[in-house]
């Protein structure tokens, strides 16, 4: 029987994280209309709320010429794996598949299409990052305990240094958010911080 309440272990948050601009990238996970727009098929209100904070981080990163990489969750009609769980969403070419207008990629940004939660699985993401000498990732986006957590896991298991601004990731509820932070810290040893705590040198 599940407990009525669950105590969240202490999760350390670092005030300041300074990263080398020429070896860093910001990884923006799945900030697409179906997830982050009120008319989206799997809309989560907290995903909408983090858009201004992600935009602020991207401006700071671009000013230092830090590479920006977007993941774009991508499915084809009748996806046999995720559609039975979530229903049809982010079908390639649809409005819901597009990255939200407020965070639209700019010239020089990279977009990696992925078909599963883990953006490293079956994609060239790792090759792209290594090709450009990236060793440090700042991971933001949605959903915290699903695709964001899998992005952090995939990166750490490939020995990238990972920082996660906890005010720039979104979850469907508080439990999932806290559980994701716990795993990022305890299991994957990512550095948890805030958008204002991230700087590039």
Q: Which of 79, 147, 161, 185 is catalytic?
A: 147
List alpha helices for the chain, DSSP H.
33-36, 45-49, 51-63, 83-86, 125-131, 149-157, 174-182
Q: Is 114 a catalytic residue?
A: yes
Active site residue 147: yes
How wide is the angle at C-alpha 145 spanned by C-alphas 190 and 148, nearest 5°? 60
16 catalytically annotated: no
Q: Catalytic one among 34, 79, 114, 167?
A: 114
The angle at the Cα of 149, spanning 128 to 12, to the nearest 5 degrees, equals 115
d(C-alpha 34, C-alpha 38), whole Å: 8
Are 181 and 68 in contact by the 8 Å Cβ rule? The answer is no
- Which residue numbers are catalytic? 30, 114, 147
């Amino acid at each position: 029987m599940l407990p009525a309440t669950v105590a969240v272990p202490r999760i350390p948050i670092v005030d300041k994280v300074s990263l080398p601009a020429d070896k860093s990238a910001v990884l923006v996970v799945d900030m697409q209309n179906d997830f982050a727009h009120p008319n989206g098929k799997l809309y989560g209100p907290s995903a909408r709320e983090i858009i201004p904070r992600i935009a602020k981080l991207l401006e700071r990163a671009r000013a230092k010429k830090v590479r920006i990489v977007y993941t774009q969750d991508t499915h084809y009609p009748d996806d046999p794996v995720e559609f039975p769980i979530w229903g049809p969403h982010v079908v390639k070419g649809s409005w819901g598949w597009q990255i939200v207008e407020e965070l639209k990629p700019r010239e020089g940004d990279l977009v990696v299409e992925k078909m599963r939660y883990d953006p490293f699985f079956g994609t060239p993401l790792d090759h792209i990052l290594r090709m450009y000498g990236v060793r440090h990732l700042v991971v933001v986006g949605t959903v915290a305990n699903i695709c964001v957590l899998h992005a952090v896991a995939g990166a750490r298991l490939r020995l990238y240094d990972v920082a996660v601004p906890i005010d720039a990731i979104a979850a469907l509820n508080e439990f999932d958010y806290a559980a994701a932070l716990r795993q990022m810290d305890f299991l994957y040893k990512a550095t948890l911080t805030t958008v204002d705590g991230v700087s590039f040198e």
